[in-house]
């Protein structure tokens, strides 16, 4: 009787904690919630719910990564083989140096891993 309540609590907490703005984070959160529900319902035990949550989070993160790369392709050319470079912290909260030109950008509203376009070169880089 406690298992459905526990599984519901886990899945609701996952839904409330989906503050991730990137597709990878959202995919992992939805995968974890779905995996916890399925694992808990299939086994009736907390261990099954936690295993399902872990498997769902991994699958959701992979799906989210594919979606994120698709979205990035709409911004311009495909990323270089190593992926988009990361900006460097400029020493002030929210400010980062472009990896291409060194220009300082205010990235306070950009989620971690989000893409930003360098206005001087037109190339994309990620917020760490």
Same domain, 121 and 94: yes
- Residues 25-44 have pLDDT tens digits of 777 777 777 887 887 778 88
Q: What is the pLDDT of residue 60?
A: 77
Domain co-membership, 40 together with 69: yes
Task: Give the pLDDT confidence of 70-88 residue by residue, as tens digits.
Answer: 776 676 666 778 889 999 9
55 domain residue, yes or no: yes
Give the total number of structural domains in the chain.
2
Which of 75, 99, 114 represents a domain boundary (last residue)?
Answer: 75
- Do 42 and 103 fall within a single domain? no
Q: Are strands 88-89 and 104-106 parallel, antiparallel or unpaired?
A: unpaired
Question: What is the pLDDT at residue 26?
Answer: 74
The whole-number pLDDT of residue 70 equals 75
58 and 101 inside one domain:
no
Query: What pLDDT is recorded for position 16?
Result: 56
Q: What pTM did the predictor assign?
A: 0.45
pLDDT tier, 1 (very low <50, low <70, confident <90, very high otherwise): low
Q: Are residues 49 and 97 in the same domain?
A: no
The answer on 95 and 36 residing in a single domain is no
23 phi and psi angles, rounded to 5 deg: -60, -30
- 65 and 97 in a single domain? The answer is no
Same domain, 11 and 43: yes
- Contacts for 81 with CB less than 8 Å, ≥ 6 apart: none
Containing structural domain, residue 15: 2-75
Residue 89 β-bridge partners:
96
Q: Judge if 11 and 35 occupy the same domain.
A: yes
**Predicted confidence (pLDDT) per residue in 93-124, tens digit:** 999 999 999 999 999 999 998 899 999 998 89
Report the candidate in 79, 107, 84, 100 with the shortest Cα–Cα distance to residue 21: 107
Please calculate the CA angle 74-110-88 and round it to the nearest 5 degrees. 100
**Could you tell me if 12 and 52 lie in one domain?**
yes
Instruction: Name the nearest CA neighbour of 84 among 26, 27, 123, 112.
Output: 123
Does residue 52 sit within a domain?
yes
């Amino acid at each position: 009787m406690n298992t459905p309540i526990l599984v519901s609590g886990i899945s609701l907490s996952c839904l409330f904690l989906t503050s991730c703005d990137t597709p990878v984070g959202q995919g992992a959160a939805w995968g974890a919630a779905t995996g916890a529900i399925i694992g808990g319902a299939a086994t009736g035990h907390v261990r099954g719910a936690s295993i399902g949550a872990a498997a769902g989070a991994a699958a959701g993160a992979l799906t989210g990564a594919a979606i994120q790369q698709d979205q990035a392709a709409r911004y311009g050319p495909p990323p270089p083989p190593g992926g988009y470079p990361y900006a460097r912290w400029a020493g002030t909260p929210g400010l980062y140096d472009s990896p291409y030109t060194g220009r300082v950008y205010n990235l306070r509203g950009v989620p971690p891993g989000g893409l930003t376009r360098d206005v001087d070169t037109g190339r994309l880089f990620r917020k760490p």
